[in-house]
Structure 1
Amino acid sequence: MTLADTTYRLLPEWHPQDGLQLTWPRPDGDWESLLPRIEAVLERIVLATVNYQQVVISVPDETTCARVKATFQAYGVPAQQLKLVVVPTDDTWARDHGPITVVDDEGQLQLLDYTFTGWGGKFPAERDNQLTQMLADAGVWACPIASRDMVLEGGAIETDGEGTLLTTEACLLNPNRNPHLTRQDVEALLAEDFGVDRVLWLANGHLEGDDTDSHIDTLARFCDPSTIAYIRCDDPTDPHYSALSAMEQELKAFRQRNGEAYRLIALPWPKACLDPEDGHRLPATYANFLIINQAVLVPTYGDPADMAALNALAKAFPDHTLIPIECSSVIRQHGSLHCLTMQLPKGTLKAASPNQ
């Protein structure tokens, strides 16, 4: 069955999940100088997640695989909750090279494997672009995958699961992604692949230090079909103030399908995080949270605003456990918590088995 044969719907992040996908850093990659720090963050993500669901980790070589496996055995992680797969990789951003899951009217899932070009050719991405198929070849997926020529990253889209998609013009309409496509072309492809009939386009909003051309998951997120959490800059002297204030007005003007305004939850603005080596600003954002089964992992930055962010998101997720994950090291490579992960909806993974 192909996408042309039936109608599919893009699943929201809060849909029940089988697992979470991570990509472990290469020892000789961009994380080389920060390897112990990023591995510590990934370990915390795994230890938090295995209490709720499985974790699938792509690891770059056998030596790393053995070391990571031994680490989690020492932590007492049950073998059936963790699957390690050795595949060649470029970087760690599973949100953008991982599969995007859709479901048809009969409940059958399909994984869509979009083209990943390292955010418009900024960074090497050939191995990461092949990763979803390599995981299929390794027997990870329980449902079929379909390759798509369109350049699209998971961090660029948000859905309410009911036919509405939220995204940014700066990313999806950027000529470094699909220069041959007009806005109407993009909307038509989104409708075909995801079953969406409404696209809410944000024309404003950005973060300094962001390599993604304003991924929506750094700015504004659906928490449920009627609730959007978004970052608000309350410092008029900050260079982000004008753009994020304009974005806030756009969000206030958006309407749900029933004509009502969205319930908006403003997330606080942390103090400027600067790279310790050259002083450039890093993209610290509380919008980069991750929804898993019964829990929400929230990036924190050792900032006084951390607690305010947790309190704000508690209002959006009253039935979830909120788990802070310190991400000051993650933003050194210009992403955060959500960027490192891809949720795997229920039905995407083959039955768990102990690591080989």
Structure 2
Amino acid sequence: MSNQRLPAEWEPQDAVLLTWPHKNSPWDWILDDVVELYEALVTVICDYADVIIAVPEEQLEEVRKRLEDMGAPLEYIHLYPCMSNDSWARDHGPLTVITPEGFKLLDFKFNGWGNKFPHDLDDQISRQLFSQNAFPCAQIESHDWVLEGGSIETDGEGTLLTTSSCLLNKNRNPELTKQDIEARLKSVFGVQKINWLDHGYLAGDDTDSHIDTLARLCPNNTIVYTACDDESDEHYAELKKMEAQLKTFTNAAGQPYRLLPLPWAGVVLGEESGERLPSTYANFLIINEAVLVPIYNLPMDEDALEVIAQAFPGYEIFGIPCSALIEQGGSLHCITMQIPEGVLWQIPDGTLELV
């Protein structure tokens, strides 16, 4: 049995990691809109946690000045020079586990979702940040296999949720069998049970069906999931199969889940491409006592916020307009990575929850 544990996202956090969009990235054509979204997001996160930002060196002072001018609390914002290909911190950022010796940043290989996109710079960001002491109370450990943070969900209590279409795709780790991957997941994240979701996809998604666009683990043994109620939609049959499979899942203790369906966003087309975008309300960000939910100026937005509120009683729920983000195929969870409490500063009583 593993002696380390990946905390659930709703456990206490020190910070949220972002990788800043820039003109030499795919965001160039809508850069102003996306930067404004990032600036607004930083100010909201700062009410609940610090923000670590990887930003091209030549833009450091510009970003700092823009945040200062809009009244962002700079004492909670930590800027570090890092070159990047893109901004999907969820997939190139570190996954932090608790071990008997303290916190460990797991730095997996990132290959641009199966070598679909440039990724050489993004694959170096975690180590660059570590070398600049961005994570002063943690060690780092590199792994020679591909894994993206958006492809897994854990409850911190022994259960992991993922999709077979992503983790078993031969564009990631062709030399590994399902049994190999299961053994590695159990070892590095300290889980006893893995629930493999075999159904569900979103048109326009480049990730081979990351779990964080389809189904999310929540407190109190709850799963919220993307549901489709439009029988004429191309997703209907597959998402119905996904829903049926979710109903069969149990956690590591053998308990069935409370399932909460999220509203279907319908057809959202790209402004430039005219192609269908993978708009989903499941790609929300959990921070200390708050949940930030992507919204798209659609009639279903309010219903989505209500479902998330049911899953997170006592949390503040915010809708964050994400129409610009979804143009590149991702949303709030995709551009962020939580950093657990104790990684930036020592926990006062010095205790870590290993189980």
TM-score bin, normalised by smaller chain: over 0.9
For 1:79 and 1:344, the matched residues in 2 are separated by: 18
TM-score (norm 1): 0.95
8 Å Cα contact 1:160/1:225 also seen in 2: no
Match of 2:350 in 1: none
Matching residue of 1:56: 52
- Rounded to whole Å, the distance in 2 between the matches of 1:17 and 1:107 is 19
Deviation at 1:153, TM superposition (A): 0.2
8 Å contact kept, 2:159–2:191: yes
From 267, 270, 275, the equivalent of 1:272 is: 267
Amino acid in the other structure paired with 2:335: L
- Structure 2 residue aligned with 1:130, among 124, 127, 138? 124
- SS of the residue corresponding to residue 344 of structure 1 reads strand
- Tell me how far apart the structure 2 counterparts of residues 264 and 335 of structure 1 sit (CA, whole Å): 24
In the alignment, structure 1 segments of 5+ residues that lack a partner are: 352-356
- The match for 1:190 among 161, 185, 192 is 185
Equivalent position of 1:260 in the other structure: 255
- Letter in structure 1 aligned against 2:135: W
Residue identity opposite 1:41 in structure 2? L
Q: CA deviation at 1:70?
A: 0.8
The answer to whether 1:118 aligns with 2:146 is no
Q: How far 1:163 moved relative to its partner?
A: 0.9
In the alignment, residue 36 of structure 1 is paired with which amino acid? Answer: D
2:17 corresponds in structure 1 to: 21
Secondary structure (helix, strand or coil) at the match of 2:294 reads strand
Aligned position for 2:153: 158
Shift of the alpha carbon at 1:115?
0.2
Separation in structure 2 between the aligned mates of residue 257 and residue 128 of structure 1, nearest angstrom: 34
CA distance in 1, matches of 2:252, 2:278: 32
* CA displacement, residues 104-133 of structure 1 (integer Å, 9 cap, x when unaligned): 2x4711110000000010001111101000
Task: Find the aligned partners of 2:81 and 2:209 in 1 and give their Cα distance.
Answer: 31
Q: Does 1:103 align with 2:98?
A: yes
The 1-side partners of 2:188 and 2:290 are apart by: 28
Give the SS at the match of 2:203.
coil
Contact between 2:93 and 2:337, CA under 8 Å: does it hold in 1? yes
Amino acid at match of 1:131: I
- 8 A Cα contact 2:158 2:252, kept in partner: no
Instruction: Give 3-state SS (helix, strand or coil) of 1:276's partner.
Output: coil
1:291-348 CA distances to partner (integer Å, 9 max, x unpaired)? 0001000000000000000001110111110111101110111111100000010112
Tell me the amino acid that sits aligned with residue 262 of structure 2: L
C-alpha contact (below 8 Å) 1:25/1:60 kept by paired residues: no
Range that drifts further, 188-197 or 342-351: 342-351
Asked if 1:85 corresponds to 2:88, the answer is: no
- Which one-letter code corresponds to 1:19 in the other structure? A
Q: Which amino acid aligns with 1:171?
A: C
Q: Distance in 2 between matches of 1:193 and 1:304?
A: 42
Question: Superposed, which structure 2 residues align to 1:30-69 within 5 Å?
Answer: 30-62=26-58, 64-69=59-64
Residue among 174, 182, 189 paired with 2:169: 174
| Distance in structure 2 (CA, Å) of the matches to 1:226 and 1:47 | 31
Contact 1:161 1:225 in 2 (8 A): no
Cα shift at 1:51: 0.5
Shift of 1:350: 5.1
Tell me how far 1:66 sits from its aligned partner: 1.2
- Indicate the residue corresponding to 1:292 in structure 2: 287
Cα distance, 1:78 vs. partner? 2.2
- Secondary structure (helix, strand or coil) at the match of 2:326 reads helix
Unmatched 5+ stretches in structure 2: 347-355
Output the amino acid matched with 2:119: A
Summarize the Cα distance change of 1:107–1:159 in structure 2 as closer, same or farther, 3 Å threshold: farther
Equivalent in the alignment of 2:212: 217
Partners in 1 of 2:73 and 2:24 — Cα distance?
29
**Corresponding residue for 1:75?**
70
1:311-322 to 2 correspondences below 5 Å: 311-322=306-317
Q: Tell me the number of residue pairs that the alignment of Structure 1 and Structure 2 aligns.
A: 345
Amino acid at match of 2:145: M
Is the partner of 1:318 in helix, strand or coil?
A: coil
State the shift of 1:259 in Å. 3.1
- Where 1:339 maps in the other structure, the secondary structure is coil
Q: Tell whether 2:338 aligns with 1:343.
A: yes
Moved more, 243-252 or 36-45: 36-45
What is the root-mean-square deviation of aligned Cα atoms in Å? 1.3
Distance in 1 between the 2:244 and 2:328 partners? 30
- Indicate the residue corresponding to 1:354 in structure 2: none
Equivalent residue of 1:91, what SS?
coil
- Taking structure 2 as the reference length, what is the TM-score of the superposition? 0.95
C-alpha distance in 2 between matches for 1:259 and 1:90:
42
SS in 2 for 1:266: strand
Paired with 1:204 and 1:331, the residues of 2 have a C-alpha distance of: 22
TM-superposed CA distance for 1:87, in Å, is 0.9
